[in-house]
């Protein structure tokens, strides 16, 4: 069974630029999550989708972050404009009805 | 905020059992205890979860105290590949099956040869 795929694996941008991350969840998983992990901390949930609807985006900085999950499969997370404090690893995870979350390898973002 | 407390770091000799403690004194009756680990430069990986009974799978054992206020993850024969950050998480399981994970700082386990 293929795991959660994410791209790119690494991204370096300058502040005020925009960036987008892509996630392909495990086939058949209805729930998709985006987490932000700052160095030395545990992951923090940014947004959670159930199929193509948003379940929880309470921690998403909506003035600069946006996410979508068209057709209830792939998802894109965008930051525009990026700030220095957005430097982190962005993790995508998916789950089925069994509740266990499967994580992708993450995208490491560096904002200069 | 995370509802669990874990020691920041632990060491374990290769081949010995690693016992990772977790305090969750405010756990509610409908909340499960989950353990995930994160090996360097990888995403977190599910290990095991339980409600009140002890659980065992191919990776580890989970021992939950009778009052459910604490638990211990046991890796029976630690290897160098078990070096990782281990997260103890409490989360509810509802009919929607969409409970989010709230990660704390975790315990960094260093397995030494």
- Which stretches of chain A drop beneath a pLDDT of 70? 1, 98
Q: How confident is the model at residue A96, as a pLDDT?
A: 84
Average pLDDT over residues B77-95: 89
**Residue of B2, B43, B100 lying closest to A104 (CB–CB):** B43
Strand partners, B36: B46, B87
Asked if A102 and B104 come within 8 Å (Cβ–Cβ), the reply is: no
CB pair distance less than 8 Å for B43 and A93: yes
Residue A8: per-residue pLDDT? 97
Question: Across-strand partners of B84?
Answer: B109
Burial classification of residue B89, based on how many CB atoms lie within 10 Å of its CB (0-12 exposed, 13-18 middle, 19 or more buried): buried
**What residue has token string 């790119």?**
A8
- What pLDDT is stored for residue B95 in this prediction? 47
CB atoms within 10 A of CB A91: 28
pLDDT at B64 over 50: yes
Interface contact flag, A48 B98, Cβ < 8 Å: yes
Instruction: Determine the Cα–Cα distance for residues A14 and A110; give it in Å rounded to an integer.
Output: 8
- Three-state DSSP class for residue B81: helix
Contact A112, A14 (CB under 8 A): yes
CB-nearest to B44 from A43, A50, A95 is: A43
Residue B38 CA neighbour count, 13 Å, CB half: 27
The confidence score (pLDDT) of residue B50 equals 93
Residues of A in contact with B96 (CB under 8 A): 50, 55
The confidence score (pLDDT) of residue B30 equals 85
CB-based contact A55 B104, cutoff 8 Å: no
- Say which residues have a Cβ less than 8 Å from residue B66's Cβ, sequence separation at least 6: none
CB atoms within 10 A of CB B50: 18
B-interface mutation test, from A103, A105, A107, A108, most B Cβ less than 10 A away: A103
Instruction: Report the SS3 class of residue B80.
Output: helix
How close, in Å, is residue A47 to chain B by CA atoms?
Answer: 10
Using CA coordinates, name the residue in chain B closest to A106: B43
Q: Which two tokens stand for residue A84?
A: 């220095």
């Amino acid at each position: 069974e293929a795991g959660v795929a994410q791209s790119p694996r690494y991204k370096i941008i300058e502040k005020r630029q925009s960036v987008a991350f892509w996630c392909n969840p495990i086939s058949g998983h209805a729930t998709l999550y985006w987490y932000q992990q700052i160095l030395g901390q545990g992951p923090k949930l940014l947004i959670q989708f159930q199929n193509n609807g948003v379940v929880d985006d309470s921690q998403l900085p909506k003035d600069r972050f946006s996410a979508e999950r068209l057709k209830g499969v792939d998802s894109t997370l965008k930051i525009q404009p990026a700030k220095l404090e957005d430097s982190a690893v962005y993790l995508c995870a998916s789950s089925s009805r069994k509740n266990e979350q499967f994580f992708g390898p993450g995208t490491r973002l560096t904002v200069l | 905020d995370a509802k669990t407390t874990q020691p920041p770091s632990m060491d374990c000799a290769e081949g010995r059992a690693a016992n990772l403690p977790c305090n969750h004194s405010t756990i509610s009756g409908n909340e499960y205890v989950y353990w995930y680990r994160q090996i360097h430069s990888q995403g977190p990986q599910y290990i095991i979860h339980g409600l009140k009974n002890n659980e065992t799978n191919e990776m580890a054992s989970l021992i939950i105290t009778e009052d459910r206020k604490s638990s211990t993850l046991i890796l029976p024969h630690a290897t160098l590949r078990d070096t990782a950050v281990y997260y103890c998480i409490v989360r509810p399981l509802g009919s929607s099956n969409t409970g989010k994970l709230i990660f704390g700082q975790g315990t960094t386990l260093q397995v030494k040869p």
